[in-house]
A and B are shown apart, each in its own frame.
Chain A
């Protein structure tokens, strides 16, 4: 008996130690990467970084203003487009999903798309929109990013709606509400925190995506508000600059990377806060 207890105790201790080591590895990796990112990136973030456009190699000054604005526009358009599409499709899957063939196929296809290589999406949008309109543009970049974001929003919305307790739904029906009211005013409202979290996570995911933008939005050395033209964006600019041999470009690239990481962190924190507050009800 005692030997058996010793063995169990040993296994338990071992597993605790190993899990501690796992955490140590995870945290070490995190500190390493983020440390590198912030040590190299934060010094680059001065006032010029946010207000001036990308400089030529070796030129003095310059910043990432065109890329920052471009990314905000592209990601903004993506969010505006993919949120309603994703939520409404997710509602359909949750509400009518068990009875509909379309729903189960959509769900499966959405799951496959969640793992799609982002470059394939970019190439598809290139073939469909860029070659036909005969120019690169910011909005085709948004289309590509939407194709990545929509599956995320659809699945999170559906998963969240499925978590609504049946009793809540039934109570609403018992009050004589029509189905669409139950779905939107009761169920969706009940999980709005989770749905918003899903949207924020989708945005965080696409914020750092490079491959879909390579052949859609291309990139732009200069500043533009025009989404019908090649548009500067943070990920592709980072890609070009970080590998270059020019010091001013490299430091800007690290600054931009740190900026993306900070923004994504803020979005994640925001998602948590929203989820907590909304789900307290």
Chain B
């Protein structure tokens, strides 16, 4: 009968699938959209070199944390470092893989990329909807001589739970107590006005399409989409443009070895060239490896990424981790142990 033939087909397919699955090294990771282009590039190069496939899917930082906790993926990725207590409770280890910058982007007629300057006060007041028009005197005072139109400001934020939002709001909350009070900081916040876009890509798309919009995206998205980024006045009072140099300047100030779980906060760093909104993006993996071979493969991949892969970072507008950070990270992998109590992977 028809039914039994179909059932036979299904079981054949599934058993074929299971058999096939036993052979190749296939790893799955999920999480932040912030570093997604970099991870995709690395995976492609790594596969060409070793044959191992690292399938990374960008579902948002919150999603990355959730899926690794549900053990449906081999590693999770989050821009927002997970709190030490939660790492402890879940038994997760955390280490950074790449650094990038968060950049405010605008869509204002007549304003070229990098032309508009904003300081802490104006940036936070715009995003808490206190300043509602582009020709507001506060903005004008920071931009003498620039012709600002009488357009309404439309805030564009992340509609999904986002590490990029966490980095951005953390910065604004640090430099603006009113912002902290009204909006707060975190992966999801209550924006007082504006529209939401899904993923970094969604925010970029919305800003490009709405006249008078302002949003925040990871630098690669701003550059690739040729968007008008904003120049910010950093902690030292200097106006900086977002680029690899200013992100690296911010990253160089951090104490990588001194911070537990590498949870460094790169926002609002001192230094004349430092970009104020910089962040590392983190990888989450279980300390107690239930599948030691899989975990070993994951660490082998990240060893490659942290050493050979960092060269490719600049081409995609990310910033490689400083050498001392890489050394400390590789050393920290000694705590990822298999059921036999031995570290699953030791870098050569």
The residues of A that contact B6 with a CB separation of less than 8 Å are: 80-81, 83-84
| 8 Å CB interface, B199-255 against A | 199, 201-202, 204-205, 220-221, 223-225
- From B21, B199, B224, give the contact of A246 (CB < 8 A): B224
Whether the Cβ atoms of A219 and B57 lie closer than 8 Å is yes
Is B40 part of the binding interface, using a Cβ–Cβ cutoff of 8 Å? yes
B20 — which chain A residues lie within 8 A by C-beta?
A: 224-226
B40 contact set on A, CB distance < 8 A: 56-57, 221
CB contact under 8 A between A227 and B57, given known A84-B3, A244-B201: no
Interface size class of B (residues with CB under 8 A): 35 or more
Name the B residues within 8 Å of A38 (CB-CB).
none
Tally of contacts, chain A with chain B, CB under 8 A: 111
Rounded to whole Å, the gap between the CB of B47 and the closest CB of chain A is 7
Nearest CB to that of A79 among chain B residues? Answer: B6
- Distance, CA A252 to CA B44, complexed state (A): 17
Distance of B207 from chain A, by nearest CB (Å): 12
- Kindly identify which residue among B2, B10, B18, B221 contacts A81, using a CB–CB cutoff of 8 Å: B10
Q: Which A106-162 residues have C-beta < 8 A from chain B?
A: 130-131, 134-136, 138-139
- The answer to whether the Cβ of A3 comes within 8 Å of any Cβ in the partner chain is no
Contact B17 A245 (CB under 8 A): no
| Interface class of chain A by DSSP | loop
Known contacts being A56-B41, A228-B14, is A84 close to B2, with CB within 8 Å? yes
Do A136 and B202 have beta carbons less than 8 Å apart?
Answer: no
Contacts of A214 in B (CB 8 A): 59
* Cβ of A16 to closest chain B Cβ, rounded Å: 38
- Give which listed residue, A84, A88, A130, A225, contacts B72 with CB less than 8 A: A130
State the main secondary structure of chain B at its contact with A. Answer: helix
CA distance A134 to B225 in the complex (A): 37
Quick one: closest A residue to B9, CB to CB? A80
Contact A229-B26, Cβ < 8 Å, known A57-B40, A246-B224: yes
Docked complex: A241-264 residues within 8 A CB-CB of B: 243-246
Interface string of B35-53 (1 = CB under 8 A from A): 0010011011101000001
Q: Is A97 an interface residue (CB 8 A)?
A: no
A136 / chain B contacts, CB cutoff of 8 Å: 28, 72-73
B-chain residues with CB within 8 Å of residue A135 when the two chains form the complex: 28, 72-73
Chain B residues within an 8 Å CB radius of A80 = 6, 9-10
| CA distance in complex: A83, B47 (Å) | 38
A82 to chain B, nearest CB (A): 10
Mark B189-207 against chain A: 1 for CB-CB distance below 8 A, else 0: 0000000001101101100
The chain B residue sitting closest to A139, CB to CB, is: B14
**Which of B14, B20, B43, B72 has most A Cβ within 10 Å?**
B72
Closest-by-CB residue of B relative to A59 is B44
A residues less than 8 Å from B224 (CB atoms) = 57, 245-246
Of B16, B53, B70, B201, most A-chain CB atoms within 10 Å: B201
Q: How far is it, in angstroms, between the C-alpha of A218 and the C-alpha of B64 when the chains are bound? A: 13
Contact between A139 and B17 (Cβ–Cβ < 8 Å)?
A: yes
Instruction: Find B220's partner among A81, A219, A226, A245 (CB 8 Å cutoff).
Output: A245
Which residues of the partner chain B approach A84 to less than 8 Å between Cβ atoms? 2-3, 6
From A55, A81, A84, name the one whose CB has the most chain B CB atoms within 10 angstroms: A84
Q: How large is the interface on A (under 10, 10 to 19, 20 to 34, 35 or more residues)?
A: 35 or more
Which residues on A sit within 8 Å (CB–CB) of B71?
Answer: 134
A58 at the interface (CB under 8 A from B): yes
Assembled-state Cα–Cα distance A56/B10 (Å): 33
In the complex the two chains form, is A222's CB within 8 Å of B47's CB?
yes
CB closest residue in chain A, given B26: A229
Evaluate contact between A131 and B3: CB separation under 8 angstroms. Answer: no
Q: Given the known A-B contacts A83-B6, A243-B201, are A221 and B55 also in contact in the complex, defined by CB atoms under 8 Å?
A: yes
Cβ distance A239 to chain B, nearest Cβ, rounded Å: 9
Residues of A within 8 A of B221 (CB): 245
- Given the interface pairs A224-B26, A227-B17, A229-B26, the reply to whether A131 lies near B70 with Cβ below 8 Å is yes
Q: Tell whether A240 is near chain B: CB-to-CB under 8 Å.
A: yes
**Smallest CB separation, B127 vs chain A (Å):** 22
Say yes or no for A220: interface residue by CB 8 A criterion.
Answer: yes
Whether a CB of chain A sits under 8 angstroms from the CB of B56 is yes
Assess the B53–A221 pair: CB atoms within 8 A: yes
If the complex has contacts A134-B70, A136-B72, are A230 and B57 also in contact, measured as CB distance less than 8 A?
A: yes
Chain A residues contacting B2 (CB-CB under 8 Å) are: 84
- B344 contacts A by Cβ under 8 Å: no
Contact of A56 among B43, B220, B223 (CB under 8 A): B43
Q: How far, in Å, is B65 (CB) from chain A's closest CB?
A: 15
Kindly list chain A residues whose C-beta atoms are within 8 Å of the C-beta of B59: 214
A226 cross-chain contacts in B, Cβ below 8 A:
17-18, 20-21, 26
The answer to whether A77 has its CB under 8 Å from any CB of chain B is: yes
Give 3 nearest A-B pairs by CB, closest first: A245-B224, A243-B201, A56-B44
Give B contacts to A, CB under 8 Å.
2-3, 6, 9-10, 13-14, 16-18, 20-21, 26, 28, 30, 37, 40-41, 43-45, 47, 53-59, 70-73, 198-199, 201-202, 204-205, 220-221, 223-225, 315-316
Identify 18 residue pairs between A and B in the complex whose beta-carbon atoms are under 8 Å apart, listed by A's number.
Answer: A58-B315, A84-B3, A84-B6, A88-B3, A130-B72, A131-B72, A138-B17, A139-B13, A214-B59, A218-B30, A220-B53, A220-B55, A221-B43, A224-B20, A226-B17, A244-B201, A245-B204, A245-B220
- Apart from A220-B55, A221-B53, A240-B58, list 16 A-B contacts with CB within 8 A: A56-B45, A57-B40, A58-B41, A77-B10, A77-B13, A80-B6, A83-B6, A130-B72, A134-B70, A134-B71, A221-B56, A226-B17, A226-B21, A227-B14, A228-B17, A230-B55
